[in-house]
Structure 1
Amino acid sequence: MVTVQAGRQRLVIALTVALLLIVGLVIVYATRHYLFTLNRLFGKQRHPYLDIDIADWPTLTVMIAAHNEEAVIAGSLACLLRADYPADRLTIMPVNDRSSDRTREIIDDFVVQYPGRISPFHRSAGKPGKAAALKDATERIASNIIVVFDADYLPPVGLLKQLVAPFFDPEVGATMGRVVPMNLGTNLLTRLLDLERSGGYQVDQQARMNLNLVPQYGGTVGGVRVRALKSVGGWHDDVLAEDTDLTYRLLLSNWKTIYQNWSECYEEVPETWPVRVRQIMRWTKGHNQALYRHGWKMATCRDHNLLEKIDGVALLGIYMMAPLMLCGWLLAIALFYASGMPLLGAAIFLFALMSYGTLGNFAAFFEIAAAVYLDGSRERIRLLPLNYFGFLVSVVTVSRAIVSQIAFDFVLRRQIRWDKTRRYR
């Protein structure tokens, strides 16, 4: 009987230590969210390249990643043809990756209508996926800079100059603009995703830019210096999140990524929950690939200061927080109801459950509230409580993706499949 009691106590102690570690980690992330929010509200804002409008602009290739995009590709091409960028230095290259719909036909019609303006890259074979298509297309260009858009994006007239301007700084390897949903009025989900995007770009990305931390190249509405891209090995076609992978390869090679908060581009966000869930699954697996490849290198690199390294590792590990939070909830509940626990101990674990839930979940919501304030569209704040349901969906979906990735993709050596996000226009 004594042995059983001692074993139970050791188990309770082990579970207690695990819970406290999870609580501590969530508090670190919460502090990071609050720091970013306070910086955006009260700190000095960095927009170092905003005023560059007249310059000797470098040669530029704009790539439009397209796979079965007949619904949206015409809109993107039409916007880019109106771009305020010297036509003799601009190449518009739709990267048509194995489309089976009318995407190729639509692109070729534009080529006929605008001779000399569009140089399509039609890809009918090869490894599937956006990164593989970009890799093949990059071998055919001769420009200094690449700007990448997904096919559903509608770039404003002045966006290309804004994304290219930071490259006059020779240390800049990549740039990133702000993504703004254009179908936010469709239903509740699109409105919630609009709030999420606002928090992520208006607060999170800009604060990291302000604090000289780790702004992230986002894979679309972003530019890459060709020389920098080649110096880090080009596009890697064995990853789902080629943007996160490239962000860290550039960072670890001492190239800067610049975020331009005023450089807005408009996208479609998912309008149904199944599409949203598949998008989160893809992001999770791709982001965790980058964590496995670059996490230790980021933590131990000598070319970046301590705050940069902490932020870099925290950004890589963000998707691992979902299963940890689920484990934390279960641990706190189990310990609370464990027989023989002192009343004080039970109260402590109940407090832990409530505190890290509040600090972790609502720190991110604080970012969204600040973003709504900074955007000047305060009526949207009434939807903020409903983001909790979106948060729960994300927690479950991310945890499911990680279990699938570990149990099937790694153990069974299963090839990760690219899931294209559905279009609605």
Structure 2
Amino acid sequence: MLLFLVDLIVFLCLLAQFAIAGYFLYLIYWLFELPADDAPEPALPADLPRVLVQIPVYNEPLVVERAVAAAGALDWPHDRLVVQLLDDSTDITSDIAVHAVARLRQQGVEVHHVRRENRSGFKAGALAAGLALDDAPYVAVFDADFVPAPDWLRRTMAAMLANPQAAFVQTRIEWGNGDANWLTRAQRLMQDAHFAVEQDVRARRGVPFQFNGTGGIWRRAAVEDAGGWSHDTLSEDLDLVLRTYLGGWTGVFLMEPHVVGELPQRVDEFGVQQSRWSKGFVQVARKLLGPVWNADWSPEAKFTTTVALGQQLIFPLLAVGIVGLVLSILGHGKLLGLFRFGLWLWLIAMLVVLIGMTWGAYRRLQRGDVLRYLITAASVPAVIVYLAFVNTASIVGAGFGKKTEFKRTPKKGT
């Protein structure tokens, strides 16, 4: 009986992974099926609205000065631009920030150095506290390590104003240290697939897609209509996105302009970041999957949102499946024929997903030659297996409602 249960668990893990693979095959299909988006960028009106730029920071001494300077360099009338440095730091970051803010004020930019008594609500709490201090109708958000080009605000605001039902505009992220080592190259390849395939396809198909927490603009009316920022999950951005979609709003995704950010360069830092993201997705799924399925959405929108929220389950499914398969082989003294067939199908499906998602993005963004792609793509499965065993416990804990602290990823300013 025990061996039968082990076999059943392995079989169910395989089935669930095939379901997740189906979501990525959907994305690959539409990547090639959708026509190219050649529409010209919309023009800005003559009368520009006020925009609030929020930069939440927590102990980021190596990047805070650059972040403040980049916000001040945005091409927008100074009398209609407000910058908030939402500083919850407990180290020398705040001392550095004081001087960076002072320099920006000398340039005629309205900038506020906002300090809170405690770190309640973490990033979501800081963003909500900043919103309470200003009534600007549009709010741009940048994490401390993200740098926009001077024309970023004009181009993203043009898209926002041209789409009155858009709750947010999300732009693509480039990575300043994407070539630092094998790990950052693997991450960049996966992130390119996320932006150039997943985000772009879902946006153009008109189904909910993700706000990535940085490099985007929110419409204040949509934020308030959805109930504002909430800190009951570790993915406050995804939580807010789905609540705005449930309220009838939409989103806009732009491949260009992009912002430049930073990837973790060490395996342990990468693991911490991914663990936080995985827990956040599971927490949002617990909170909002019910309302999503009760919403007046198309089956396509419900399917893509459900699988996107549940795709983090690939990690515990992979870990449990591997352990179960080993126990099955030991118990039977051989690999069962059903599992041999299933593993071949799994291998084919995963190769199609890996190549379809990453090659499409790699080619679209012109990252390099085929050999360079193959070398980088070959490292991705190892990264996935590592995450499977590192993230499983935290994902299961989040699934059962366990709350954890928001652990930031250290930034080096590269």
Does TM-score exceed 0.5, indicating one fold? yes
Contact kept? 1:49, 1:166, Cα under 8 Å:
no
One of 214, 217, 235 as aligned partner of 1:241: 235
Corresponding residue number in structure 2 for 1:69: 60
Number of the residue aligned with 1:88: 79
- 2:204 alignment partner in structure 1: 210
RMSD of the TM alignment (CA)? Answer: 2.4
Q: Taking every aligned residue pair, what percent have the same amino acid on both sides?
A: 21
- Give the conservation status (yes or no) of the 8 Å contact 2:177–2:184: yes
Alignment equivalent of 1:110, drawn from 103, 111, 115: 103
Deviates more, 1:327-336 or 1:188-197: 327-336
Distance 1:406 1:26, change over 3 A: closer
Q: Does 1:179 align with 2:135?
A: no
CA-to-aligned-CA distance 1:58-105 (integer Å, 9 cap, x gap): 221010111122211221222222222232221111111244213332
Whole-angstrom CA distance in 1 between matches of 2:282 and 2:181: 30
Aligned to 1:369: 359
CA distance in 2, matches of 1:166, 1:100: 38
1:85-141 deviation per Cα after TM superposition (whole angstroms, max 9, x unaligned)? 232221111111244213332343334433443233222435151111111111011
Offset at 1:370? 1.1
Distance in 2 (CA, whole Å) between partners of 1:378 and 1:153 is 24
Give 1:365 shift.
Answer: 4.2
CA distance in 1, matches of 2:317, 2:35: 34
Aligned residue in 2 for 1:4: none
Query: Is structure 2 residue 70 aligned with structure 1 residue 79?
Result: yes
> 1:204 is aligned with what amino acid?
E
Partners of 1:224 and 1:193 in 2: CA distance? 27
| Structure 1 residues 377 and 112, CA gap change in structure 2 (3 angstroms) | closer
- What CA deviation, in whole Å up to 9, does each residue of 1:263-322 have, x standing for no partner? 210001111111111101111111111010011221232x21000000011111111121
* Partner of residue 354 from structure 1, selected from 339, 344, 354: 344
Tell me, what secondary structure is at the counterpart of 1:119?
A: strand
Residues 336 and 350 in structure 1, CA contact (< 8 A), matched pair in contact too = no
Residue matched to 1:327: 320
Distance 2:39 2:252 in 1: 9
Name the CA distance, whole Å, in 1 between partners of 2:73 and 2:98: 21
Residue in structure 2 matched with residue 145 of structure 1 by the alignment: 138
1:292 aligns with 2:286: yes
What are the equivalent positions in structure 2 for 1:181-196 lying under 5 Å apart?
Answer: 181-196=175-190
In the TM superposition, what is the alpha-carbon distance from 1:172 to its structure 2 partner?
A: 0.9
Q: Is the 8 A contact 1:332 1:353 kept in 2?
A: no
Matches within 5 A, 1:31-50: 31-46=22-37, 50=41
CA contact (8 A) 2:68 2:101 kept: no
Instruction: Tell me the matched-pair count.
Output: 407
User: What is the distance in 1 between the residues matched to 2:409 and 2:119?
Assistant: 21
- Between 61-70 and 122-131, report the one with greater CA deviation: 122-131
Secondary structure at the aligned position of 1:120 is classed as strand
Structure 1 or 2, whichever has the larger Rg, is 1
For residues 297 and 63 of structure 1, do their structure 2 counterparts lie closer, same or farther at Cα, with a shift above 3 Å needed?
same
Q: Is the 8 A contact 2:146 2:262 kept in 1?
A: yes
Unmatched 5+ stretches in structure 1: 1-6
Q: Name the residue aligned to 1:3.
A: none
Q: Note if contact 2:69-2:100 (Cα within 8 Å) is conserved in structure 1.
A: no
Matches of 2:38 and 2:302, distance apart in 1: 23
1:23 aligns with: 14
- SS, match of residue 332 in structure 2: coil
Distance 1:351 1:106, change over 3 A: farther
The answer to whether the 8 Å contact 2:208/2:242 transfers is no
* Paired letter, 2:292: M
Note if contact 1:183-1:190 (Cα within 8 Å) is conserved in structure 2. Answer: yes
Runs (5+) with no aligned partner, structure 2: none
Could you tell me which residue of structure 1 aligns to residue 408 of structure 2?
420
Structure 1 residues 9-43: Cα deviation after superposition (integer angstroms, max 9, x where no partner): xx62x555544443333222222212312322342
**Other-structure match for 1:398:** 391
Instruction: State how far apart, in whole Å, the 2-side matches of 1:329 and 1:238 are.
Output: 33
The amino acid across from 1:195 in the alignment is L
- Change over 3 Å in CA distance of 1:154–1:116 after alignment to 2: closer
